[in-house]
Chain A
Amino acid sequence: GAVVSQHPSRVICKSGTSVKIECRSLDFQATTMFWYRQFPKQSLMLMATSNEGSKATYEQGVEKDKFLINHASLTLSTLTVTSAHPEDSSFYICSARYPNTGELFFGEGSRLTVL
């Protein structure tokens, strides 16, 4: 299957700082990528849809000024958690839509811990 890479896989930061997570589609171009958040033993909750060259579409209840999404190229989307707080600690997962089939391929996830 197609490969989606996330970086970093783990990050620890201090409260009040900003953290950037990258999501890359390695062997295909993705006009659409999705960002999810997953708490322990829970399902994936969609945060936003990232469209190349345009503004992201956020799900209800997700603060767009806190979770900045940029999809500057067909292979890269970034999620920046601004002014992170301990409650933002979670597992963040991206997915990229494969062209033509529409299948979603997921990254390995990024574990964010805010101290």
Chain B
Amino acid sequence: QQQVKQSPQSLIVQKGGIPIINCAYENTAFDYFPWYQQFPGKGPALLIAIRPDVSEKKEGRFTISFNKSAKQFSLHIMDSQPGDSATYFCAARVNQGGKLIFGQGTELSVKP
């Protein structure tokens, strides 16, 4: 019940395309859902995060869509660029004091 399931495992898109990464969870006590971007050999960096009282959040080219009833959330990257090629992780947390549970990760490759 503590798991966060992420798909796909890998994704290849052309420059300008809109990759979509999906995550699903079971624990309804989760109240914070961040997305992280990780480049090889580096630590993850927070991209964007959402709370369950909001259905969508946009920051720049990154958008999170959140479906509370389906217990799913997704990341959309608009006008993707080769520099967006990285591994993306979704995560979830029970409360501000709780630990983050990470999804399995999606390796994104954006072809020029």
Contacts and interface: CB of A to CB of B under 8 A. Distances in A.
B61 interface: no
A103 B104 contact: no
Given A34-B99, A43-B104, A44-B102, A1 B46 contact: yes
A106 B44 contact: yes
Contacts of B89: 43-44
Contacts of A43: 89, 102-105
A71 B41 CA distance: 25
Interface stretch (A13-21, A80-88, A107-115): A107-115
Could you say which interface size class chain B belongs to? 20 to 34
A106 B96 contact: no
What secondary structure prevails in chain A residues at the interface with B? Answer: strand
A56 to B, nearest CB: 12
A74 interface: no
Contact of B42 (A4, A32, A104, A109): A109
B106 to A, nearest CB: 10
Nearest to B32: A102
Contacts of B42: 108-109
B60 interface: no
A109 B43 contact: yes
A49 B99 contact: yes
Chain A to chain B: the 9 pairs with minimum beta-carbon distance, closest first: A102-B96, A106-B43, A109-B43, A108-B43, A43-B102, A93-B43, A106-B44, A44-B102, A43-B105
Interface of A: 1, 4, 6, 32, 34, 41-44, 46, 49, 91, 93, 95, 101-109, 111
18 contacts: A32-B97, A34-B100, A41-B107, A42-B105, A43-B102, A43-B103, A44-B102, A91-B41, A101-B96, A102-B93, A102-B97, A104-B100, A106-B36, A106-B43, A106-B44, A107-B43, A108-B43, A109-B42
